[in-house]
Structure 1
Amino acid sequence: MNLKALIEKRNALIADMKSLCDKATAETRAMTTEEQTDYDAKKSEVEALNKTIRSIEEQNALNLNSAKSDGTATDKEQAETRAFENYLRTGQIVETREDVNLTKGDNGAVIPATIANKIIHKVIDICPIYQIATRYTLGGTLSIPYYDEETQAISMAYATEFTDPVSTSGKFLSIELKGYLARGFCKISRSLINNSQFDIVSYVINKVAIAAAKWIENQLINGAASKIDGLAAGVTQVVTTASATAITADELIDLQETIPDVYQDNACWIMNRATRTAIRKLKDNEGRYILNPDATAKWGYTLFGKPVYTTDSVSAIASEKTAIYYGDMSGLAVKTSEDVSIQILNEQYATQHAVGILTWIEIDAKVENAQKIAALKMKKAGG
């Protein structure tokens, strides 16, 4: 079964889960034993499919997929790379093979699938939050059901014979992921393109991927009003510092302990580099630094046994700002309705001796499992 089929199967299961929840909600009742069993089975299968899909995507990103024995895949990739490079250098489409996906529209040529996939994989490689998040790829609105016990939970208690039990239950809620269109743009010097010794294809892939990854990371963390929620709007577990200008080791422990043990395995810290610098100066009661360089850690540092990732998308230490996120970032759901789509604009910027690169992506992100992620917020100054 190919990746597309796996994604479609997972999305169908999610739709079935939503139908079970909607039916129980409409009838103002808990799900029956049969419905709950069916729901749990589908949920387990969705989780298993998520792991498989993520593994396949990671394998693709590392270029571990072997070419077909007859060389078809390799030939196609080479043909599409040649076609793309030729179009960049000459503005002409010369590849005539039907399976080479390079088409010219009103505003320029749409790049072939293999080039687009390399850009997507590059984005995943350089954007850890996007890499770890739970990703869904489909059009339309995606509704993800979850079980909420915050207001009323299923309870267990001692009982006396011949007395009626008091019914308690949680609620089935859902989050909706839509699709918000975003556009990126850059120009490349025609002199650079005309240099036949320069690897222009790799240059374009890197330039587009870095720009896309930087924007996506910022949106996944901070979101935007009436658009993507991201972590900023979705994280409900918050620890507030006692100071508006400093963080203590005890507050970091409180933040880490907010996450249940079951979600600690894949947890990490996300903060600004200036915040990491401040934390590096904190010591325990024995005078030992609590954050140290670690050559075996994913990003070179560990704090209380978990890797530390720094990004400018998280605010530095300042009054009322969220300075740190901690937890398993798979609790963030990201839906892309459309993979990265790119157009090459040869004519529009000819007078500037440049070529335009126009990037489109449709994306949304919300916290899917609030228990997996927590935030450290700085106290209000003077408060």
Structure 2
Amino acid sequence: MNKKMREFLAAIEEKQKEARSFADANETDKAAGILDEIDDLKKQYETEEKLFKLEQEQAANSHEEVRTEKELTQSEKDVKAFAGYVRAMVNKASTPQNITMGNNGAIIPQTIASQIIQKVKELCPIYANSTIYHSKGTLKIPVYGDKTVSGDDAPHNITVGFAAEFSELTADAGAFSSVDLTGYLVGALTLIGKSVVNNADIDVTNFIVNEMGKKIAEFLEDKLLNGASGYNQGALATTTTMNAGSTSAITADNLIDLQAKIPTAYQGAAAWYMAPATFTAIRKLKDGNNRYLLQDDITGTFPYRLLGKPVYISDNMPAIASAAKAVLYGDASGLAVNIREEQNIQVLTEKYATQHAIGVVAWMEFDSKVADNQKLATLVMSANS
């Protein structure tokens, strides 16, 4: 008997004593829970016993010719790999989503795999480049601009002009308004069947936790670009817009004119944001000398620049279509984002025990609005007539 088997037997004996004490105290629920734990320990002991016997048989047959790894059949390789997996996982705490043996059979080892291939999504750094606040209450961002006066069509603001000695100056000023940010709660929950965790050759729970973090990032990027009616406002809500003059095509002149919509003071951190298909269409544009507008940029994360500015691609940007806001340009710091509660992911090991499952829950709370419309501009495709 090896060390692990002795440890299992000792643990079973200890749990049996604990169950008897609860049974004597008429605490049947606690006793029942411990009995379930004893059953799990017994199963683990049986697994370890089988592995131990297998090792003994292999030692007894050590005089036989040992085949190389290349000579093993695929089935034998699978069994060998799975045995190693069971040994590594038998004492490991398990955790799991609505992932079950029935509808997620691909992650149950038929041949042993150690990778999960995921679909890659294009995401832009709109969150990283926006202006982030962490306010628990309502956040009011003051905005100063021209003031309108009833009955007067001319905008009012501080005016500077030539003056003559002994002549009165006319007082005038603009007005303050505010962009108000509150918080909207976002949540997600997924359940993982314990059978999947016990039979998969990967750390399913850790994978799902990481995957949930990615899904939250995708959700947040979508809302920071497009907004959601009744909730937050995205960068595409900027009031600085330009019509493309076409329902389906973008020209080089469109891009030049859109870039000019942003004042020079805000051009330093400006960038382009567009969908993959839009990028492909723009990539084919040429100037009068038959040179492509997009230039190679081996110094950047993404190897292209358009009219001197970096290009970011996002699957969440609208595609070229009638009335679509197909291109966003400018300094993303013009978008204000209030994070009341940072992304928080928890693994729930007890709540779903009666379902033989483990939960992974995520929460965050945020709001966003365009605080400075001068910093962001959109190219809007024409609507069908």
TM (normalized to structure 1)? 0.63
CA contact (8 A) 2:146 2:157 kept: yes
1:258 to 251, 257, 261: 261
CA contact (8 A) 2:179 2:369 kept: yes
CA contact (8 A) 2:130 2:337 kept: yes
Letter in 2 for 1:180: Y
Alignment coverage as a number of residue pairs: 262
Q: In the alignment, which residue of structure 1 is the partner of 2:363?
A: 360
User: Structure 1, residues 101-149: CA drift from partner, whole Å, max 9, x if none?
Assistant: xxxxxxxxxxxxxxxxxxxxxxxxx761111111111211111112113
Q: In the alignment, which residue of structure 1 is the partner of 2:144?
A: 147
Letter in 2 for 1:167: A
User: Structure 1, residues 292-351: CA drift from partner, whole Å, max 9, x if none?
Assistant: 443322323211111111112111111111001111111111111112233334466568
The gaps in structure 2 that reach 5 residues or longer are 1-91, 97-122, 148-154
- Work out the CA distance in 1 between the residues paired with 2:193 and 2:278: 38
Structure 2 counterpart SS, 1:157: coil
Structure 1 counterpart SS, 2:156: coil
Letter in 2 for 1:131: A
- Work out the CA distance in 1 between the residues paired with 2:143 and 2:198: 54
Max Rg structure: 2
2:219 to 215, 222, 237: 215
Q: In the alignment, which residue of structure 2 is the partner of 1:310?
A: 313
CA contact (8 A) 2:95 2:194 kept: no
Offset at residue 368 of structure 1 (A): 1.7
Offset at residue 167 of structure 1 (A): 2.2
Q: In the alignment, which residue of structure 2 is the partner of 1:131?
A: 128
CA RMSD of aligned residues (A): 2.5
The gaps in structure 1 that reach 5 residues or longer are 1-84, 90-125
- Work out the CA distance in 2 between the residues paired with 1:352 and 1:215: 29
CA contact (8 A) 1:138 1:338 kept: no
1:244 to 240, 244, 247: 247
Q: Does 1:295 align with 2:302?
A: no
Q: In the alignment, which residue of structure 2 is the partner of 1:230?
A: 234
CA distance 1:282–1:244, shift in 2 (3 Å) = same
CA contact (8 A) 1:138 1:336 kept: yes
User: Structure 1, residues 48-98: CA drift from partner, whole Å, max 9, x if none?
Assistant: xxxxxxxxxxxxxxxxxxxxxxxxxxxxxxxxxxxxx84737xxxxxxxxx
Residue pairs, 1:34-113, within 5 angstroms = 86=93, 88=95
Letter in 2 for 1:364: D
2:337 to 328, 334, 339: 334
Letter in 2 for 1:129: I
Structure 1 counterpart SS, 2:305: strand
- Work out the CA distance in 2 between the residues paired with 1:149 and 1:217: 32
Structure 2 counterpart SS, 1:160: coil
Structure 2 counterpart SS, 1:366: strand
- Work out the CA distance in 1 between the residues paired with 2:200 and 2:301: 37
CA contact (8 A) 1:298 1:307 kept: no
**Farther-moved stretch of structure 1 (163-172 vs 322-331):** 163-172
- Work out the CA distance in 2 between the residues paired with 1:295 and 1:349: 50
- Work out the CA distance in 2 between the residues paired with 1:295 and 1:205: 34
Q: In the alignment, which residue of structure 2 is the partner of 1:171?
A: 175
- Work out the CA distance in 2 between the residues paired with 1:193 and 1:277: 42
Q: In the alignment, which residue of structure 2 is the partner of 1:12?
A: none
CA distance 1:288–1:172, shift in 2 (3 Å) = same
CA contact (8 A) 2:144 2:177 kept: yes
CA distance 1:140–1:127, shift in 2 (3 Å) = farther
- Work out the CA distance in 2 between the residues paired with 1:205 and 1:293: 37
Letter in 1 for 2:332: M
Letter in 2 for 1:244: T
TM (normalized to structure 2)? 0.63
Offset at residue 186 of structure 1 (A): 2.9
Structure 2 counterpart SS, 1:371: coil
CA contact (8 A) 1:127 1:213 kept: no
Letter in 2 for 1:310: I
